[in-house]
Amino acid sequence: MAQRFTIGDAVTVKFIFPVGHVRTPPYVRGKTGVILGCHGDFRNPETLAYGGDGLPRLPLYAVGFEARHVAGNDSLSPRDRVVVDIFEHWLEPAA
């Protein structure tokens, strides 16, 4: 599958809470970060968990977030980062 995002793109994680097996941690949902890289295309673990084939394969990105925004603590250094691997269908271009 063609990658929608490239290194340096600002993205926002969808603020949704679907029922079932999901791989996107709640603490980054609704947060904005930056694409640091793409690991390649992988089968979707959210459908594999229920016996599906996980297709189509989806790009998996490394997304970096400012730790102070993730933790809700402005006393943290703006240089500290949290990096999370997130599948493309969870990401939107940042506003």
Report the pLDDT value the prediction gives residue 13, as an integer from 0 to 100: 98
Instruction: Give mean pLDDT, residues 68-79.
Output: 92
Could you tell me whether strands 10-13 and 32-42 are parallel, antiparallel, or unpaired per DSSP bridges?
antiparallel
In whole numbers, what is the pLDDT of the chain averaged over residues? 95
pLDDT digits (tens, 9 = 90+) for 28-71: 999 999 999 999 999 999 999 999 999 999 999 999 999 999 99
The candidate with the shortest Cα–Cα distance to 94, out of 4, 36, 12, 37, is 12
Alpha helical stretches, state H, 22-75: 45-48, 67-71
Tokens of 41: 């295309």
Above 80 in pLDDT, residue 1?
no
Residues 62 and 13: their CA atoms lie apart, in Å, by 12
Instruction: Give mean pLDDT, residues 13-31.
Output: 95
Report the pLDDT value the prediction gives residue 2, as an integer from 0 to 100: 84
| Domains parsed from the chain with CATH numbers | 10-93 (2.30.30.50)
Residues 93 and 18: their CA atoms lie apart, in Å, by 20
Report the pLDDT value the prediction gives residue 21, as an integer from 0 to 100: 87
